[in-house]
Structure 1
Amino acid sequence: MTTNAERKMRFLYALRSRGVTDARVLTAMETVDRRAFVRGLFAERAEEDMPLPIACGQTISQPSVVGLMTQALQVTPRCKVLEVGTGSGYQAAILSQLARRVYTVDRHRRLANEARNVFERLGLTNITVIATDGSFGLPEQAPFDRIIVTAAAEDPPGPLLAQLREGGIMVVPVGQSDAVQSLIKVVRTAEGFDYTELRTVRFVPLVEGMASD
């Protein structure tokens, strides 16, 4: 029988072997138990490096992608972060270990409510969950030091770019929703925006408007 320690060691080894090397990110991912964010039968597979289904036809991203996106954000302890697409809440929980404050938004009220309950249970008090249309960001809390988008847009969304502080970083999957997308890192400079392509990914599409659930 595999012990918890062995499972965790394998989990961290899988992350490192796929390019997640930032020590703070690895510590955060070791601290946050992915099983808390996965329901039913899939909880047994929570420490495998694979996406898993959650409610509302959405998925919880594979841990190595969560790790690589978090690493690319370069979150510091002073950062105020916006996450677009709460989903299971796993990504926000990782960010909560690294940032001063995390705002996470989702168009599915059910997902927002379930994630809020998990955060309360885990005692993660620096996360604010809001059920809203994330494609417009959260103007009342802008500007943000970091923005992470966990759904694919055809281009980095203008409203989100506008809410990024100068010197801030946004990580967003870009491309057609039914094809392979590119993970893009955007840095806001005094002159405009610098774009770096990181890797190929596959995410659900970024959809405007609130879901009907």
Structure 2
Amino acid sequence: MSPRVIEQEGFAALVLRLRAEGISDKDLLNAVEQTPRTIFAPPQYQENAYSSRLVPLDCGAFMEGFDFAVRLLHSLNVKPGQRVLEVGTGSGFTAGVMGRIAERVLTIERYKTLVAGAQRNLEKAGIRNVIVRHADGSIGPAGEGTFDRILVTTAFSSLPRVFSDHLVSGGILIVPIMMSETECRIVRLTRTGSRFDREDLFEAPYLPFVPQMASFL
């Protein structure tokens, strides 16, 4: 099956499933359609790019299942003109989708191999407003100021203050939290002034956060 057919059939099936869940965000769906997952999936896994399966990447990382990734982005609710921070670049797919909507996306990754791969993928997709940086996400985006939206894609044992401090009033932070040794859930924080409202959303397949940049890869 050609990548184009995989993309068309995969996206059409996704739209039907999301409509059944009451998700019909046109900006998000347009951005997803314009960002082919086959570009971001390793060649040997292209046929799984639009499935609900985890797709293995280098360095022990993975692409989330397609439905999960879009549901995550729907929960983040990115709007035009916003500045977005992502911690954990992976393949670059979620950063690419957000880049179709937001004004600017900064995505941070600890593995050089993934940084280089994500940059290539984003270039192939023609996305120019996403900056991929090799850095330690655990210390936050030094010198970058605040963001309207922050998406963290590796799990913490408790809510990380380092990211909430970089959130504007009215901003949203999405972060996976380990509820136990085996359960991880997506948590959404919405900032209003100095107050943070927390919502526990849905289970997540993420791995515990690893601080510092990788010595290899």
Judge same fold: TM > 0.5, yes or no: yes
1:73 paired to 2:76: yes
Task: Tell me how far apart the structure 1 counterparts of residues 134 and 72 of structure 2 sit (CA, whole Å).
Answer: 23
- Comparing 15-24 with 125-134, greater Cα deviation is found at 15-24
Contact persistence 2:178–2:185 (CA under 8 A) = yes
Q: 2:167 aligns with which of 164, 168, 171?
A: 164
Deviations 1:125-153 (A, max 9, x none): 10000000111221311211110001111
Q: 1:186 aligns with which of 184, 189, 209?
A: 189
- Cα distance, 1:23 vs structure 2: 2.0
Identity of aligned residues (%): 32
Structure 1 residues without counterparts, runs of 5 or longer: none
- Comparing 144-153 with 65-74, greater Cα deviation is found at 65-74
Deviations 1:66-87 (A, max 9, x none): 1111111111111100000000
Residue type of the alignment partner of 1:57: G
- RMSD of aligned residue pairs (Cα, Å): 1.8
Task: Tell me how far apart the structure 2 counterparts of residues 16 and 88 of structure 1 sit (CA, whole Å).
Answer: 26
Q: 2:98 aligns with which of 95, 100, 105?
A: 95
Contact persistence 2:49–2:66 (CA under 8 A) = no
- Cα distance, 1:34 vs structure 2: 0.5
Task: Tell me how far apart the structure 2 counterparts of residues 188 and 119 of structure 1 sit (CA, whole Å).
Answer: 30
Count of residues paired in the alignment = 213
TM-score (norm 1): 0.93
- Cα distance, 1:176 vs structure 2: 5.4
Deviations 1:84-119 (A, max 9, x none): 000010110110111000000001111011101111
- Cα distance, 1:21 vs structure 2: 2.9
TM-score (norm 2): 0.91
Q: Name 2:47's counterpart in structure 1.
A: 44
Q: Name 1:144's counterpart in structure 2.
A: 147
- Comparing 28-37 with 15-24, greater Cα deviation is found at 15-24
Distance 1:209 1:177, change over 3 A: farther
Residue type of the alignment partner of 1:70: L
Contact persistence 2:36–2:125 (CA under 8 A) = no
Contact persistence 2:156–2:177 (CA under 8 A) = yes
Task: Tell me how far apart the structure 2 counterparts of residues 118 and 163 of structure 1 sit (CA, whole Å).
Answer: 27
Deviations 1:5-64 (A, max 9, x none): 334312332344456432221221111110111113211111212211011111001121
Q: Name 2:177's counterpart in structure 1.
A: 174
Residue type of the alignment partner of 1:208: P
Distance 1:19 1:201, change over 3 A: farther
- For the residue of structure 2 that corresponds to 1:141, the secondary structure is coil
Deviations 1:170-209 (A, max 9, x none): 0111115852211111011113211111111120221101
Structure 2 residues without counterparts, runs of 5 or longer: none
Q: Name 2:109's counterpart in structure 1.
A: 106
